[in-house]
A and B are shown apart, each in its own frame.
Chain A
Amino acid sequence: MTTDLIIFLGLGFVALATAISMLASRNAIYSALFLVMNFITVAVLYLLLNAAFIALVQVTVYAGAIMVLFLFVIMLLGAEHVEASPGLPWQGPVAVLLGLILAGEFGLLLFGREGTLAQDLQTAVEGFGSPASVGLELFRNYLIPFEITSVLLLVAMVGAIVLTRRERKESR
């Protein structure tokens, strides 16, 4: 169990460090790559929680598909360096203030009620949380939400194509 603890502490440190350096880096490409690193670290956290399927989906969908899309858009638009415009000088301090207020509320909730959250982990049996059981659950009990999700993805795809389509009147 001590190895679990060491792995968790290391992963948590790396996840927070990459999230902070994502915000700190001026170049948008670097921050996208730090975000990929953060997603892969969180995928290993899912493995620690016996959720192998979620970890694989995290790597393929998040770190693969979504972040490649982000990198593609950043390079397409040439948006690597956006200089700080003087428009809203109070934006940064207000963002810090609101983020700290939210963190304080989370801390109050997490440390205020130790009772339910100090739950002990039950030992995992063979084949616990395997991709096969997730698939069975998805297609047995959650079939209608699953189908609605596929319709949602289709609508998002059509919407993305319609939004980025060049209109014929303007191109001439």
Chain B
Amino acid sequence: MIPLSWYLIVAAAIFCIGIYGVLARKNAVGILMGIELMLNAVILNLVAFWRYLTPSLIGGQAFAVIVFAVAASEAAVGLALIISIYRRHSTVVADEINMLKW
């Protein structure tokens, strides 16, 4: 029997790897990929909690579906922003995107 905490440990590890990617990457596309990894860990947590704590309420899965939709729209808008920045400044390096500085 797999305890609930094992799923939470896997999800927490994936979340921490994702946050390291977000903080350490210089490529803006890489930062967005780290955010996707973190959202994925969150959905894994949601499904695991639904299965172990309230399996009679199927609403846990409905919640996960809504988080999927939010993740998809976030990726679409984020990549559109990256393309727009690349058109104006021809760079995707997060260090060089400093129009708001001073």
A contact residues vs B (CB 8 Å cutoff): 1, 4-5, 8, 12, 15-16, 19-20, 22-23, 28, 31-32, 35, 38-39, 42, 45-46, 49-51, 53-54, 57-58, 61-62, 65-66, 69-70, 73-74, 76-77, 79, 82, 84-85, 87-88, 91-92, 94-96, 98-100, 102-103, 106-107, 110-111, 114, 117-122, 124, 128-129, 133-134, 137-138, 141-142, 145-146, 149, 152-153, 155-157, 159-161, 163-164, 166
Contacts and interface: CB of A to CB of B under 8 A. Distances in A.
A119 B72 contact: no
Contact of A119 (B4, B30, B40, B77): B4
Please classify the interface of chain B as helix (H, G, I), strand (E, B), loop, or mixed, using the class held by over half of its residues: helix
A104 B21 CA distance: 17
Given A82-B27, A110-B12, A164 B80 contact: yes
A91 B27 CA distance: 13
B46 to A, nearest CB: 9
Given A8-B2, A53-B61, A79-B92, 19 more contacts: A1-B1, A5-B1, A15-B14, A16-B14, A19-B14, A22-B37, A28-B30, A31-B33, A42-B44, A45-B10, A46-B47, A54-B64, A99-B23, A102-B16, A118-B4, A119-B3, A137-B59, A138-B65, A153-B69
Contacts of B36: 35, 62, 66
A57 B65 contact: yes
Interface of B: 1-10, 12-21, 23-27, 29-30, 32-34, 36-37, 40, 43-44, 47-48, 50-53, 55, 58-59, 61-62, 64-66, 68-77, 79-84, 86-87, 92-93, 95-96
A92 B23 CA distance: 8
> Among B15, B40, B86, which residue has the most Cβ atoms of chain A within 10 A?
B40
Contacts, number: 232
B20 A82 contact: no
A61 B47 contact: no
Contacts of A103: 12-13, 16
